[in-house]
A and B are shown apart, each in its own frame.
Chain A
Amino acid sequence: MLTSQLSHPSHPEPLPSPLELANMSRFCAYLFLPACLLALAVIAPAMSDYALEIGFRLLLLITLAEAWNLLAGYGGLVSLGTASFVGIGAYALTGLVNQADVPFFLAIPAAGLAAALLALTVSRAVFRLRGLYFTVGTLALAEALRMFMVNYSGFGGASGLFLSVDPPGLLELFWTALAIFAVTSLAMTVATSSRFSILLRAVRDDEDAAAQIGVRPFRIKLIAFLVASFLMGMAGALQGLKVGAVEPYGMFGIQWTVNVLSIVIIGGQGLRAGPIVGALFVVLLSELLADYPALHLAITGVILIVVIRFAPKGLVGLFQRRPRAAGGVQ
């Protein structure tokens, strides 16, 4: 009796139906987000250096987190190799600008392509087996690349390379970050609201069943991996441009992997708003603990464990749960 009462409340709250929710999110993607980005681009010249700095970092991390979310949240491909694509992007940009005088606006997408090429090269190895081997394989890739860059003298070795031209100013960097974020959002909107997203989630949920009904898992996973690597490579290039120098410990460092992964897990895996909420949280935390980098990472680890245990869908999932449960009642 109790259960029937619970499942049929006498006064159902007027909550948006799933269709309305979908329309709302589409509205956000098509109108709200571009409007916000445009507004940010317009007011950027009036922002303080500190605000630009934080904004730049947020945009960069959100871009990386969106790309990681495409892999892990939608594709079930939990990567621990973010650093390798960030690093390749940064090194590719530095190389292109130093050796061939390629302008920045061309070098950044080219750096993204370099990262995608890396992904293509290793895809055979890391996709050969399911799930967990992808995770460990990408971790091995990141460590191997870092060690190679430290030991091999061709790319500056452990001390790295300097950009031969002056890096652009903070404002231009912020605008570039906005542009890359816009490209990322567009790519994510296409990837998560098209036929591709259904195929990707089918592969994530049951690769064998998906293959049985005619989906080609390898191809689907490869596309997601290439898109994500391209975006990560561009973000890495932008970071390289901002620093004006690349060196293996910073650009191939594990902290990229840790930051991006914790952003998505804390924000909410497989949810569009997850990376944004997670990035705000993580950047806020890192600002509060800016003077204690080791403590900051340790606390991030604790938060990670707590979130995995008690909020598998992250902060966004916590706030979404109630309307969704009620929506199921209707």
Chain B
Amino acid sequence: MPNFDVVVSSMASGFLLGGILALIALGLSISLGVMRLVNLAHGELLVCGAYLSYFLLSHAGIDPLVGLLLVGAIMAVIALPFQRLLIAPLAGKGMEAPMMTMFGVSIILQNLLLLAFSADTRAIEAPYAARPLSIGPITVSEIYVIGFVVSVLLVGCVHLLVTRTAFGRELRASSADATAAAVMGVDVKRVHALTFALGSACAAMGGVLIGTAFSFTPGTGATYLLISFAIVVLGGIGNIFGTLMAGIAMGLLQSLGAVVLGDGYRDLVGLVLFLLALALRPQGIAMSGGR
């Protein structure tokens, strides 16, 4: 067993990383909750965000944190027409067709990224990426703290957007009952498009933070997609606070797995947890009011 300081530090890292994971999972959660869309391209949207930030830094010198909202906005704007083109026409054809379409999108994005940028491992080289920060026995990278704070702020913003604004009211109405919402004058198509854009922005911004804290390749997305799913399952679909808690729990458990079993098992722990959650706690994922 490694010494106490290492364990405490890596648990603290896990806790902080969990905040970032929650932001990523939130994007998946709102697509699923509002549009009933299983966005299998979520991981690739995340990787796109990371590449975008990488090139903003290397070509335009824009710091990843300064460019964070910019990356989110760019991905949201890119996502809007795609939703119109690919997902909207499949409305009313069940959940499988949009899901498989997003699987196709995921394959396309992953391989286009591979063609454009090769399989090289990259990381966004921000000055705070590897700088250590010590409080007592705990030592964590500065980016983890920054990532956690930024993520929790963004999750809070999404929470306010959903609960306090007119758009949020329409979003909640569409989520509860799309037909009834449409009858009451909500433009459900517009809500779905904006929801997809919001989900993509969450993924891309999470990707910026992940890309700064870790490294990434065009194939990184699948792991984060599945971990996000695990978090959504644990936290409950459309439950923003639950997602945050589940994200932090996932981060902690992953770090625990990495400490006990070795670093390679970090992501495996998340996936096994997901399968266990499916087997043992299905009520957390019950999709009421579907179809």
- Interface positions of A (Cβ within 8 A of B): 78, 80, 122, 124-126, 128-129, 131-133, 135-137, 139-141, 143-144, 147-148, 150-151, 254, 258, 261, 265, 294-295, 297-298, 300-302, 304-305, 308-309, 312
Assess the B86–A305 pair: CB atoms within 8 A. Answer: yes
Chain B proximity of A92: nearest CB distance (Å): 20
A308 touches B223 (CB 8 A): no
- B259-291 residues with Cβ-Cβ distance < 8 A to A are 262, 264-265, 267-268, 271-272, 274-276, 278-279, 282, 285-286
| Contact call A133/B107, Cβ cutoff below 8 A | no
B15, CB-defined interface residue at 8 Å:
no
Cβ contacts A to B, 28 pairs, < 8 Å: A80-B103, A124-B279, A125-B279, A128-B279, A128-B282, A132-B38, A136-B229, A139-B222, A140-B226, A140-B274, A141-B275, A143-B222, A143-B271, A151-B262, A151-B264, A151-B268, A265-B100, A294-B114, A295-B115, A301-B105, A301-B111, A304-B101, A304-B103, A304-B104, A304-B107, A305-B101, A308-B100, A312-B97
Q: Does B95 contact A (CB under 8 A)?
A: yes
Q: Which of A137, A150, A298, A301 contacts B278 (CB 8 A)?
A: A137
In the complex, which of the residues A131, A151, A305 has the most CB atoms of chain B within 10 Å of its own CB atom? A305
How far apart are the CA atoms of A305 and B98 in the complex, in Å? 9
List the A side residues contacting B285 at CB < 8 Å: 129, 133
Q: Is the CB of A305 within 8 A of B105?
A: yes
Closest Cβ neighbor of B38 among chain A residues: A132
Q: Is the CB of A294 within 8 A of B115?
A: yes
Q: Is the CB–CB distance between B108 and A143 below 8 Å?
A: no
Query: 10 extra interchain contacts, Cβ-Cβ under 8 A, other than A126-B275, A133-B285, A140-B229?
Result: A132-B38, A132-B95, A140-B271, A143-B223, A150-B264, A297-B107, A301-B108, A305-B104, A309-B86, A309-B90
**B73 CB-CB contact with A under 8 Å:** no
Residue of A nearest to B222 (CB): A143
The answer to whether B271 touches A147 (Cβ under 8 A) is yes
Contact: B275 with A122, CB < 8 Å?
Answer: yes
Q: How many residues of B contact A (CB 8 A)?
A: 43
Q: For the complex, is B99 an interface residue (Cβ under 8 Å from A)?
A: yes
Whether B112 is near chain A, meaning CB under 8 Å from some CB there, is: yes
Of all chain B residues, the one with the shortest Cβ separation from A123 is: B279
Number of A-B contacts (CB under 8 A): 115
Find the residue from B100, B108, B223, B264 having the highest chain A CB count within 10 A. Answer: B100
Do A125 and B268 form a contact, CB below 8 Å, given A143-B223, A295-B111, A308-B101? Answer: no
Assess whether B97 is in contact with A308, with CB atoms less than 8 Å apart.
yes
How many Å lie between the Cα of A78 and that of B111 in the bound state?
Answer: 23
Which of A135, A136, A137, A308 has a CB less than 8 Å from the CB of B104? A308
Please give, as numbers and ranges, the residues of chain A lying within 8 Å of B108 by CB-CB distance: 298, 301-302, 305
Q: Is the CB of B275 within 8 A of A137?
A: yes
* Residue ID in chain B nearest A144 by CB atoms: B271
Closest Cβ of chain A to B182, distance in Å, is 23
Find chain A residues with CB under 8 A from B272 CB: 144
Instruction: Contact check, A78 vs B107: say whether CB atoms are below 8 A apart.
Output: no
Q: Whole-angstrom distance between the alpha carbons of A276 and B106 in the complex?
A: 25
Q: Which chain A positions have C-beta within 8 A of B115? A: 294-295, 298
State the Cβ distance, B36 to closest chain A Cβ, in Å. Answer: 9
Shortest beta-carbon contacts, A-B, top 7:
A301-B107, A125-B279, A151-B264, A301-B108, A144-B271, A298-B111, A304-B104
Q: Interface on B for A, CB 8 Å cutoff?
A: 38, 40, 86, 89-90, 93, 95-97, 99-101, 103-108, 110-112, 114-115, 222-223, 226, 229-230, 262, 264-265, 267-268, 271-272, 274-276, 278-279, 282, 285-286
For A135, the chain B residues whose CB sits under 8 A away are 38, 99
Q: Is the CB of B226 within 8 A of A143?
A: yes
User: A254 vs B222: C-alpha distance in the bound complex, in angstroms?
Assistant: 10
Contacts of B267 in A (CB 8 A): 143, 147
Task: Determine if B229 and A147 form an interchain contact, defined as CB atoms under 8 angstroms apart.
Answer: no
In the complex the two chains form, what is the Cα distance from A297 to B265 in whole Å?
Answer: 29
Please, which residues of chain A bring their CB within 8 A of the CB of B103?
Answer: 80, 261, 304
A125: chain B residues within 8 A (beta carbon) = 275-276, 278-279
Determine the distance from Cα of A106 to Cα of B97 in the docked complex, in whole angstroms: 40
Contacts A128-B279, A133-B278, A133-B285 given; does A147 touch B111 at CB 8 Å: no
- Assembly CA distance A302 to B103 (angstroms): 10
Kindly state the separation between the CA atoms of A137 and B104 in the bound complex, as whole angstroms: 18
Docked CA distance A157–B223 (Å): 19
Compute how far the CA of A141 lies from the CA of B265 in the bound complex, rounded to whole angstroms: 14
The answer to whether A132 and B111 touch across the interface, beta carbons within 8 angstroms, is: no
Collect the chain B residues with CB atoms within 8 Å of residue A150's CB.
Answer: 264
- From residue A47, how far is it (CB to closest CB) to chain B in Å? 33
Q: How far is the CA of A317 from the CA of B276 in the complex (A)?
A: 39
User: What B residues does A147 contact at CB under 8 A?
Assistant: 264-265, 267-268, 271
Residues of A within 8 A of B90 (CB): 308-309
Q: What's the least CB distance linking A75 to chain B, in Å?
A: 13
B278 touches A129 (CB 8 A): yes
Residues of B within 8 A of A131 (CB): 95-96
A252 CB to closest chain B CB (Å) equals: 12
Residues of chain A lying within 8 A (CB to CB) of residue B96:
78, 131-132
List residues of chain B with CB within 8 A of the CB of A80: 103
- Residue from A261, A295, A301, A312 whose CB has the most chain B CB atoms within 10 Å: A301
Question: How far is it, in angstroms, between the C-alpha of A272 and the C-alpha of B176 when the chains are bound?
Answer: 39
Distance from B226 Cβ to chain A, minimum over Cβ atoms (Å): 5
| A254 partner residues in chain B, CB cutoff 8 A | 222
User: Which residue of B has the minimal Cβ distance to A122?
Assistant: B275
